[in-house]
Structure 1
Amino acid sequence: MQVTVFGATGGIGRHVVDQLLTAGHDVVAYARNPAKLDRHDPRLRLVTGELADHERVREGLEGSNAVISALGPSLKRGTTGTPVADGTRTIVEAMQATGVRRFIGLATPSIADPRDKPTLKARILPILANLMFPNALRELQGMTQAVTDSGLDWTIARITNPTNKNPTGTTRDGYLGVDDVGSAMTRTDIAAFLVGQLTDTTYQHAAPAISN
């Protein structure tokens, strides 16, 4: 399978690329500076481009069967604009135009899934996110809506506290108030969950929260 990875040079995206290649997939890494991957593999194609470049994004999708997006909003205070939400809309439009159906991406539990139950955590998270990172929350809302309204075969993994600890190989996944899901998860394990969704349809058209 050929998979296009957006956000390929980020903390999670690097692990996604590595794990896809280890699993024998062909990978297209799309980024502003994909050379940062510093990875050489005959099954890896690097595409340099901005998320706002519609034609370039389409080029990055050529021949691919699925997209894994490791994109996420900036958490810096004072950040304005919605480049990642706008870029996600560009990716979705390019997928619709090129016939690529499978989208796997990221969000946080501050964005609700309809299967969540009304718990204290579910109520507090979006309030805290709006107080601490209002622009990031707007980005996440825009990213998620672009995907869920797309008609694509999508899965969005909601993460809370990604860490650089050693992978555990264990995952808790499900919905707030329904399943026993924690907060922290290693970036390597997050990447493994995303890659696993290529062949697992359990969470198709769903946004599970995940943790170690």
Structure 2
Amino acid sequence: MNVTVFGATGAIGSLTVAELLERGHTVTAYARNPEKIPDAWRDRVRVVIGQISDAEAIDQAVADADVVVSALGPSMDRKATGLPLVEGTRHIVDAMRRHGVTRYIGHATPAILDPREKPTPTTRLIAFMPRTFMRRAFDEIHGMVDPIVASDLRWTIVRFIAPKDGPREGDLRVGFFGTDKLGFAVTRADIAAFTAAQVDDDTYVGAAPAISN
């Protein structure tokens, strides 16, 4: 499939691109900084350079895509201002609709609840901490995800709590709070592998599974 990845040069995004290539997909990577494009992508990845506010460049990246993957996440920098990813996600969705792309896979934390979940001590904690101490990031992630969940897109939101470096472990717990036993930590490599797997798997369409090692 043709897959467009936003946030493609980030810690999880770059691993997701590698996973998609390994699975035989054709990848378009949207990136802000050309200097972060890995040499390994040469002749293997179509690259579109642009800011997340650049609707025209985003449209170019989404054209001809079968699936859009967003590995974008709010900045944890306390000096950050505004909600740029909310605007950027709106541009992505607008481009998807113009080009007839319906499959969207994104990332979030359990501060976003799956529609079938009930709050648990873990989800309350995960929501309380950013809402209290990182309010801008909390508002941004809700502003990115809530419109997706309310849309008619075939969406999947992959949620995780504590991403860490390390090789893919492959032993994932996947499910929903209040129903399934889930942990906290998960390697970025495993997040990338699970994200890439959703491209041609409809199991979690219209769902926001949480994952952990």
Q: Kindly provide the amino acid, as one letter, of the partner of residue 51 in structure 1.
A: I
User: Which deviations, in whole Å up to 9, do the C-alpha atoms of 1:3-31 show, x marking residues without a partner?
Assistant: 00000000000001111111111110001
Cα distance in 2 between the residues matched to 1:83 and 1:178:
34
Equivalent residue of 2:11, what SS? coil
Give the alignment's TM-score, normalised by structure 2: 0.95
Say whether the 8 Å CA contact 2:64–2:99 is kept in structure 1: no
Partner of 2:11: 11
Please state how far the C-alpha of 1:62 moved relative to its aligned partner.
1.6
Aligned length: 212
Match of 2:28 in 1: 28
Partner of 1:129: 130
Q: Which amino acid aligns with 1:93?
A: D
Percent of residue pairs bearing the same amino acid type? 47
Return the alpha-carbon distance in structure 2 between the equivalents of residues 191 and 34 of structure 1: 22
Which amino acid is 2:77 matched to?
A: K
2:119 aligns with 118
Which whole-Å CA distance do the structure 1 matches of 2:50 and 2:10 have between them? 15
SS at match of 1:106: strand
Q: What per-residue deviation string (whole Å, max 9, x for no partner) do you get for residues 20-48 of structure 1? A: 11111111000112441312343310100
- Give the drift of 1:118: 3.0
Deviates more, 1:116-125 or 1:45-54: 116-125
- Give the AA of the match of 2:55: H
Q: Is the 8 A contact 1:110 1:126 kept in 2?
A: yes
Contact 1:72 1:106 (C-alpha < 8 Å) held by counterparts: yes
Give the CA RMSD over aligned residues. Answer: 1.2
TM-score, length-normalised on structure 1?
0.96
Unaligned runs of 5+ in 2: none
Deviates more, 1:124-133 or 1:97-106: 124-133
Instruction: After TM superposition, give the deviation of residue 119 of structure 1 in Å.
Output: 1.8
Q: What do the CA deviations read for 1:148-171 (whole angstroms, capped 9, x no partner)?
A: 122110000111111012210121
CA contact (8 A) 1:168 1:189 kept: yes
Gaps of 5+ in 1: none
Deviation at 1:124, TM superposition (A): 2.3
State the secondary structure of the residue aligned to 2:177: coil
Q: Work out whether residues 13 and 71 of structure 2, in 8 Å CA contact, stay in contact via their aligned partners in 1.
A: yes
Find the aligned partners of 2:204 and 2:158 in 1 and give their Cα distance.
Answer: 9
Corresponding residue for residue 89 of structure 1:
90
The equivalences for 1:158-197 within 5 A come to 158-197=159-198
Please tell me whether the aligned partners of residues 92 and 150 of structure 1 are also in contact (alpha carbons under 8 angstroms): no
Partner of 1:209: 210
Matched, 1:73 2:74: yes
Q: Quick check: 1:113–1:206 contact (8 Å CA) kept in 2?
A: yes
Preserved CA contact (<8 Å) 2:105 2:157: yes
How far apart, CA to CA, are the structure 2 residues paired with 1:61 and 1:143? 17
* Cα distance in 2 between the residues matched to 1:15 and 1:136: 23
Q: Is the 8 A contact 1:5 1:13 kept in 2?
A: yes
SS at match of 2:199: coil
**C-alpha separation between the residues in 2 aligned to 1:114 and 1:68?**
21
What is the CA–CA distance in structure 2 between the aligned matches of 1:114 and 1:142, rounded to whole Å? 16
- Other-structure match for 1:62: 63
